[in-house]
Amino acid sequence: MIEIKDIHKTFGENEVLKGISANFQPGKNNLIIGGSGSGKTTLLKCIVGLHEPTKGEVIFAGENFTKMNFEQRVPIRTHIGMLFQNSALFDSMTVEENIIFPLNLFTTMSKSEKLDRANFCLKRVNLENTNNLYPAELSGGMKKRVGIARAISMQPKYLFVDEPNSGLDPKTSILIDDLISELTEEYQITTVIVTHDMNSVMGIGEHVLFLHDGQKWWEGSNKEIAHTDNKELNDFVFASKFMRAAKAKL
Amino acid sequence: MFYSLGRYILLLRLSFRRPEKFSVYWAEIMREMVSIGIGSLGIISIISLFIGAATTIQVAFQLNSPLVPLSTAGSIARDSTILEFSPTISALVLAGRIGSSIASQIGTMRVTEQIDALEIMGVNAPGYLISPKIIASMTMVPLLVIISITLGLTGGYIACLVSGDVTPADYLIGVRDGFDGLTVRVALVKAFVFGFIIASICAYQGFYTSGGALEVGQASTRGVVYSCVMILFADLVITRLML
C-alpha cells in the first residue's frame, strides 16, 4: 500500500500541490485525474521521488520514502515500475536490452534466466519476436507495451503510469488499459495511473482521485462519478457531448 | 556562476559514487572508449598530418637565414607539435566532436525522460551516464594525443619531402636533437586534463537540460564553448606550472 500525507509542492512562488492525502491499495487501479495544470503529474513525480515534496510524506508499505536518502531508497525503487508518457525507452538499446537492463544491475540472474524473463515479459504484453528491434522501429502502442514489459521485468510491487493513452488510437488505448488492469489484478500490484482519458476512468477506475487547482477535490470509484454532484468533476468528466449523452442514459 | 560551479562539483561527486554493478559500468566504459577513441581517430589523424606539415613549412620559412642550421626547423616543429599543437588543437577538435555528442546524448535522454526512468529504477543516473564518459575520455584523449604527435611529426617529414624547404635528413636531425622527455610528459598531462574538461563540462550541460530539442542544441553549443575556453585556460596553467 502507498500512503501520501499532506503533500505540498512549490516551484518558486507557484504552489502546485496544496496538501494532498490519499491511500492507494494493492490490486486496484488507482487513477489520478484532473485538468491540465491541476498538478497530477507533479503529484506522481513526488510519489516516486523524482520531485521532493516541499512538505508532506510518502509512505511505501509503512516505510517513509520521503525521509530516505538515495541509497536507502534503492531497495524500494527496485520494487517500482514506471511507464512514462513517451515510454522513455533507452534509444541505444534493443527491446530485449531495455527489459534486461534493470535485471543486469539489480539481480544475480544468469544470462539465460534474464533472457527467459525478457521473453516472458514480452509474451505477457503480446510482443513476442521483437527482441532485437530498436525503439525507433516501434509504433507508439508497441513502445508503450515494451515500456510495460520493462516496468514489470523486476516483478514490481508498485506500478506508476503517466498518461498511458496519450498519442494512441482508441483501440490501442483500451488494449493498454486492459493490460495494466490485468497485471494489477494478477500480481496484486499497487498501480497509480495519471490520466485525463475518460474511457480509462470509466473503464478501469476502481479508485479515482480528482485534482483541481492543486487540491484533492473528489475521491471515489468510477461507478460513483456518474452520480456525484461535484460541479468541477462533472465539468471535467462530462465535458464532451458523448459523455453527457452517456450520463443521461444512466 | 557560483551556483553553476557548486552544481557541477556536486554532479561530479554523484558521478563517482560506488557503482551498482561494476561489470555493467565496465562494459559502458569500454563502449565509450571505442566511441571516443576509434570514433575520433580519423579526424585527429587528418588534422595532425596537416598541422605538422604546415608548422614545419612555416618554421622553415621563418628560419631562412644562413646563420641558423636548417635542422633547427625540425627541433622547433617537434617542440611546437608536442607541447601545443597536438594536445591543444586535438582537444579543441575533440571538444567539438565528442563534447557535443556527450551533451546532446545526455540532454536528449533528459528531455525524453530516459534519465527519470534510470532514477526510478534506482540507478545512480550521473554515475551510470557520466563517469564512464569521463573515464573513457581521460584514457583515450592522451592516447589520441600520442597518435597526433606521431602523425604531426610524420606530416612535417612529408612536408620536407614534398616542399624541399628543409631536407628530410636535416628535419630528422632536428627532431632528434636536444629532445627532452619533459615535453611529452607535459603533453600527456595536458591531454589527461583536457579529457576530463571535455567530458565533464559537456555532460554537466547535457544533464541539466530542460525543455526540448532547441534546448538540447543550446546545451550542446554551451558545452563545446565552455570546454574550449577551459581547455585554453588549463593549457596556460599547465604550461606555466610544468615548464
pLDDT of residue A170: 85
Q: Are residues A88 and B108, on separate chains, in Cβ contact within 8 Å? A: no
| Nearest beta carbon to residue B122 from set A89, A90, A106 | A106
State which amino acid sits at residue A113. E
pTM here?
0.89
Average pLDDT over residues B93-117: 96
- pLDDT tens digits, one per residue of B43-97: 999 999 999 999 999 999 998 888 889 899 999 999 999 999 999 999 999 999 9
Residues A84, B116: C-beta atoms closer than 8 Å: yes
Q: Which residue of chain B is at minimal alpha-carbon distance from A156?
A: B121
Domains of chain A: 2-222 (3.40.50.300)
Residue A200 near residue A31, CB atoms below 8 Å:
yes
Strand, coil or helix: what is A239? coil
Task: Read off the C-alpha cell for B146.
Answer: 600520442
Look-up of cell digits 508518457? A85
Query: How far away is chain B from the Cα of A243, in angstroms, using its nearest Cα?
Result: 33
Q: For B150-208, how does the pLDDT look when each residue is reduced to its tens digit (9 = 90+)?
A: 999 999 999 999 988 899 999 999 999 989 999 999 999 999 999 999 999 999 999 99
Is residue A240 pLDDT above 80, yes or no?
no
Tell me the per-residue pLDDT of B152-161, one tens digit each, with 9 for 90 and over: 999 999 999 9
Distance from CA of A40 to the nearest CA of B (A): 17
pLDDT tens figures, A11-66: 998 999 999 999 999 999 999 999 888 999 999 999 999 999 999 999 999 999 99
pLDDT tier at B31, thresholds 50, 70, 90: very high
Q: Do A104 and B21 touch (CB under 8 A)?
A: yes
Separation CA B104–CA B203 (nearest Å): 9
- Tens of pLDDT along A190-199? 999 999 888 8
Q: Do A77 and B20 touch (CB under 8 A)?
A: no
Q: Which of B21, B108, B122 sits opposite A77 (nearest CB)?
A: B122
Tell whether the model's pLDDT for residue A250 goes beyond 70. no
Q: C-alpha distances in angstroms, B198 versus B25, B88, B90, B93, B190?
A: 20, 12, 12, 10, 12
CB-closest option in A78, A84, A105 to B117:
A84
Count of C-beta atoms within a 10 Å radius of residue B166? 27
Pinpoint the alpha helices (H) of chain A: 40-48, 70-77, 95-106, 111-124, 140-152, 170-186, 198-204, 222-225, 231-237, 241-249
pLDDT attached to residue A168: 83
Chain B residues closer than 8 Å to A154 by CB: 121
Q: What is the DSSP string of A101-169?
A: HHHHHH----HHHHHHHHHHHHHHTT-TT-TT--GGGS-HHHHHHHHHHHHHTT--SEEEEE-TTTT--
- pLDDT reported for residue A199: 85
